[in-house]
Each structure stands twice: as structure tokens, then as C-alpha cells.
Amino acid sequence: MKKKSCKKSRQIRSSSICSSKRKKQAKSKNCLQSSSSQSRLPVTCGYKEGLLDLKKYYKRQKCILSEDRWFTPTEFERFGRKEKNKKWRTSILCKGITLQKLIEDGFLLPKTFMKGRIHGEKQKKRPEVLQQQVLESAEKSNGSQGEDDDDIDMTKFEGATLPVACGSNSGVLHKCRFAGERCGRCIRTENSWLTPEGFIKLNKPDGIWRKDIVSNGVPLGRLIKKKVLELHTINCDCEICQELDQHLNDDVCFVCNSEGNLVCCDECPRAFHHHCHLPAVPEDSSGKWSCIICVLKNMKGSSQKNQQDIMSSPVSQYTQHCQCLLLHLLRECMTDPCTNIPGGSENICGPMMLGRVKQNLENNNCPTVQVFVSDIEYVFHHCTSKRDNDFSRMMSRLMELLETIFKP
């Protein structure tokens, strides 16, 4: 059984990583530590290894140190016997990733290393002019649409989460989990947590995540430019970037939406407090565990009873169905407006009264499924007697769950 502990300052659950991934991470880390400065990145071209000095790179100087010699990217490409490619951005790799990819993802600005008269003339220009040209070039290479940025309503992107879509697939992006394309399982779909790369593969395998994943019609690339999302650096050593297999489950309880000591389902992303789940999970339980929603989903429908026959059946025959139904209703009532009726008593509304239904179910005080359902209807009527729209909506939701969960 997976367990997660979430305190006020959110702690990220670490998970095991295969030995090959750990070796790759250790190798990259050692390579970075061996460099003389934090502003240097380990690079390779063919069989040659070197260090890319970012300060020299941005000044368009010879910026790659290899075998005690300094090279421009083009010279380093020839040094690594890859001159036939004639494109150093794809010939030179940083930890297995081409410099072209780092430029596209915004980790590096695009730079041109020219020789001769043209290069000399550019060097004569004032530094502020060159800087402005670099910024304009960076905006064009990133495919940004600066002229439209002022039209974005930024209030849509406030808060901890963002609705996202790619084609017909949709999900919710959690900002605190976002790191980049391959790191950070930040997008919660109905069935799993995915990285942007994993999410785009569901519907558009050949797509570009910065352009094809959108939130409120705006691509993620533009939200990164607007600082709505923070892109981690290529050599980031935070827990999100290092623990590639983590974040398989939610950080808050499925029922009460709060943190704490959570038990995690091994079949879906949901997590629960021990006492919030139905039935309650023993504190000392261990081994593989599945929530009641997954248990019911895996059950093969063998009942031939119609809806009327089910309602008249003893609760003992449909205990798991009742538990699953009540679990969904408890979750929805925790944030439902009908639980906060002006002038109503907090001791008898919403979750509190559904808690009594839960207690009756656990104590076997409901002789039939119909009695169990009638108890829920009474709670909705009592909590929404002054708000007919809420009563109709909650009753409609109850009927929907009955048809889905008690389907023969």
C-alpha cells in the first residue's frame, strides 16, 4: 500500500527509480560538479566531450572548452567529426538533448557565430542595440505572438490550477507540479497524472506541447512567456525534476480535499484519509490497496435485477455500491453551496447529515437500498428546502449516480 504524508508546506512523495535512470542522473550531476562554474554545461559532439560556457556563448565568443582548447560551436562540430551535418545545433548534445531542443524550449537563446566582415560590423554596434536584436530574435524563434499578448485576460490564469486541453483530451494542470516537457507529472486526467509530453501523446503524438496544449485557448508556450508557468532549467536538481516516477497520486484527499497522512490507490490517482474512505482503511494496513471506486469498477456485472428489484433488495447485497455512491456525494457536498444556507444550522446541513447516513450504513441500520436512498433524499430536502434549484440539482446527481453505480 502506498502512503503519502502532506503537511502545510507540501511535501513531495519520493518513489523508487530504476537503477539505469539513477546512473544517468548521477553521471549528469558529476559532470556539472566537475565544471569550473555553474554557468557551464556538459556537451558532446561525436566522440568529443566539452563544457559550454554560457557567458562566452551569449557574447558570441569561443565558448566550448575541450581538451584544453576553446572552440566556437561550428569548430567543435568539426572537432567531433560531425562537420557533414553543417548544423551544430543538432550535432552538439547536452546530456543527450540537442542544443536545438534547448533553444526551442527556452533554455538557451539562439546565437549566430559568424566570421569575416559581417561579424566585424556587428561587433561595432552598441551593446544595447545588439541586446535588442537578440531579444527580438529570441521572440521569433520561440514562435511567440507578441502582438496578441496584450489581448490575453490574465485573470483566467490565476490560482493553483489551469484547465488544459489537447484535441479531444482534457485535464487540469497543477502549477506547483509543472517543471517542463518530460519532468513533473502536472496534468491530472480522469485516470492518471501525466507530464506535458505524456498528455500530448494521448491525442497528438507528433504535436509540440508548447503550442498544442492550451488553457482557455492560450498555448502553454505563451503562458510560460507570461510567467504564469515557471519552466525549470535543464540542470535543475529539485525533487520534481530528479524523481521522474513520482507524483502518481493526488496530494489531497479525494473526499475532503485536504492534506495529511493519505493512503494511495494502486490503480488510480486518488488518495484518501484513512477515515474518509468507505469502508475506513485500517491504520496498520499494508500491501497493495485499491479504493472502493476501483473495486466496483473491476467487478463484473452479474445481476439481472432491474432498478425496482435493486431498491427493494437488502443493503448487504449492495454494500459496496452504497459505499461508492455515498463517497461521491460526500465529496461533492464538501464544496457544494447548498451546505452553507444563510440562517441554516451547520450541525445539520450537508456533510454532517450525510455523515449520519454513513454511520447508519456502517452500523447496518438500513434494511434495504431504498431506505438508504431515502435517507439521502431527506438530507437533500432538509438542506435545500429554501433553494429549490439546489434540491433539483442534487437529486438529479443522485439519480445519475444510481443509474451508473447500480447498473445491472
d(CA 286, CA 356): 29
pLDDT (0 to 100) of residue 138: 46
Q: Say whether pLDDT at 245 is over 90.
A: no
Confidence band (pLDDT; 50, 70, 90) for 303?
A: low
| φ, ψ at 399 (rounded to 5°) | -65, -35
Q: Read off the pLDDT of each residue in 86-91 and give the average, rounded to a whole number.
A: 88
Q: Which of 257, 269, 174 is nearest to 215 (CA)?
A: 174
pLDDT tens by residue, 194-227: 999 999 988 888 889 999 999 999 999 999 988 9
Say what percent of the chain tops pLDDT 90: 28
Q: Read off the pLDDT of each residue in 239-250 and give the average, rounded to a whole number.
A: 72
Q: Which of 382, 376, 380 is nearest to 323 (CA)?
A: 376
Confidence band (pLDDT; 50, 70, 90) for 337?
A: very low
184: Cβ contacts below 8 Å, ≥ 6 apart: 177, 178, 195, 232, 240, 241, 247
Q: Say whether pLDDT at 70 is over 80.
A: yes
Confidence band (pLDDT; 50, 70, 90) for 19?
A: very low
| φ, ψ at 386 (rounded to 5°) | -100, 0
Output the nine-digit C-alpha cell for 4. Answer: 503519502
Q: Read off the pLDDT of each residue in 124-140 and give the average, rounded to a whole number.
A: 48
Confidence band (pLDDT; 50, 70, 90) for 264?
A: very high
d(CA 81, CA 399): 70
Q: Which of 27-31, 192-196, 364-368 has the lowest mean pLDDT?
A: 27-31
pLDDT (0 to 100) of residue 350: 56
- Judge contact between 184 and 197, C-beta under 8 A: no
This prediction's pTM: 0.57
Q: Read off the pLDDT of each residue in 375-394 and give the average, rounded to a whole number.
A: 71
pLDDT (0 to 100) of residue 348: 40
Chain-wide mean pLDDT for the chain? 77
Q: Read off the pLDDT of each residue in 97-118 and give the average, rounded to a whole number.
A: 74
Q: Say whether pLDDT at 34 is over 70.
A: no
Taking residue 228's Cβ as centre, other Cβ atoms within 10 Å add up to: 19
Confidence band (pLDDT; 50, 70, 90) for 246?
A: low
Q: Read off the pLDDT of each residue in 94-104 and give the average, rounded to a whole number.
A: 87
Domains of the chain: 21-142 (3.10.390.10), 159-242 (3.10.390.10), 307-405 (1.20.920.10)
